[in-house]
Amino acid sequence: MFSYSNNGITIASILDQRRELKEQTYPIKIRVTFKRRRVYYSTGKSLSKTDWEKLPITKSKKQILLKTDVQHSFDKVKSAVVKLERDDKFSFIVLNNYLGNGVGDTLNVCFKTKLDSLLQNDQINTHEYYSYTLKSIESFAGENIPLDLITPEWLQKYEKFLLKEGKSYTTIGMRGRAIRTVLNSAKEIGLIKESQYPFGRGKYKIPTGKGRKLALNLEQIKNLITYTDGSEATEHYRDLWFFSYLCNGINFADLITLKYSNIKNDELYFIRSKTIKTARVKKDICAVITPEMQAIMDRWGTKDVNPDNYIFGFLKGGETPLEIKKRTRDVISNCNRRLRKIGKALNIAGLSTYTARHSYATVLKRSGANIAYISESLGHKDLRTTENYLASFEKEERMKNASLLTQFE
């Protein structure tokens, strides 16, 4: 009966026939649709199907009053939507809060809204990260967690819960940062007050974990790239590791999606998928195609060098973001399986696809390369990120060298 549509947001007054009330009547609601999600707001009124169909042309005073009440509810929702849309702040959580329905919002709802947004933006990896966190907190505290329950004490108990599950502090830190991001949004739109915010000075401190980051030296790299067990699959994944190492330590998720169109004047240009959605300035990373890289592309690359073709042929084109994610996982899993076998043969523990990136950075650092160049080639936003990234490797090197001082035999 009443409707409004603009910028992908649709509002309509509807007879909600999903649940029948007494005497064959149904509730009248205001339905808001945005990005394929529907939320219903009550008007407090109800009608039968027949009376609803007659409502637009009714002459009954009683029905006219009811129609006016419905329009009032519709106008209230529309006014809120238009204002939020104009201020570029529209989301269902914000709308609920604006309409005075925010009291019932929960941490679960906030996470689901975040997940919807990530999925709409094709941020598959980040969506997965928040999805795992939501499952974890629901396993700990249920599917209806009030926002005012999230205190420093609650977070401490959640941390202990994760430790009992055998989770590392790295994982606990990731879960904590996801919760903090969601609560930052809730605080920004007024769902929680500053005094209720559980993070910050004197409150809950998110733990940080340090996993062992392995960086190979040049001798180990030489042994790795010349290793063979006679298997073509082993040589294939060995060479992909070497390509990743030479190509500025490119992550395998980015390596798999390289196309021939990324090649310009004998150099590869690409943007890290990890930062493409978050970085304000989309900056290309540039890697010179060395003779070794060219040889790997000649051996394992797609023979048809059409600009739209993927270089290494793991993807054929037309895949959805979820399909690309699955294919990437499979390739990384297969490669790591082969790398573990190579590592066992060469006595290199912890060898994986990610080792290539660590090795690229540390080999350059130990060879005297400018840290600003290393930072730019890794795609880091600032030098501090690069310095922190390299710090653990350099400490590992210092510890190894210190141990040499007492090797008397």
Q: How far apart are CA 123 and CA 120, in angstroms?
A: 8
Burial of 317 per CB tally in 10 Å (0-12, 13-18, 19+): exposed
| CATH class name, domain 218-406 | mainly alpha
Q: What is the pTM of this model?
A: 0.59
Output the CATH code of domain 103-196.
1.10.150
Residue extents of the structural domains in the chain:
3-90, 103-196, 218-406
Local confidence pLDDT in tens for the 409 residues of the chain:
899 999 899 999 999 998 788 888 999 999 999 988 888 888 889 999 999 999 999 999 999 999 999 999 999 999 989 988 887 778 787 787 677 654 446 899 889 878 877 776 677 878 888 999 999 999 999 998 998 899 999 999 999 999 999 998 889 999 999 999 999 988 876 778 899 999 999 999 998 765 556 789 999 999 999 999 999 999 999 999 999 999 999 999 999 999 999 999 999 999 888 766 555 556 788 999 999 999 999 999 999 999 999 999 999 998 988 899 899 999 999 999 999 999 999 999 889 998 999 899 888 888 888 888 888 888 887 777 777 767 666 666 666 666 656 565 5
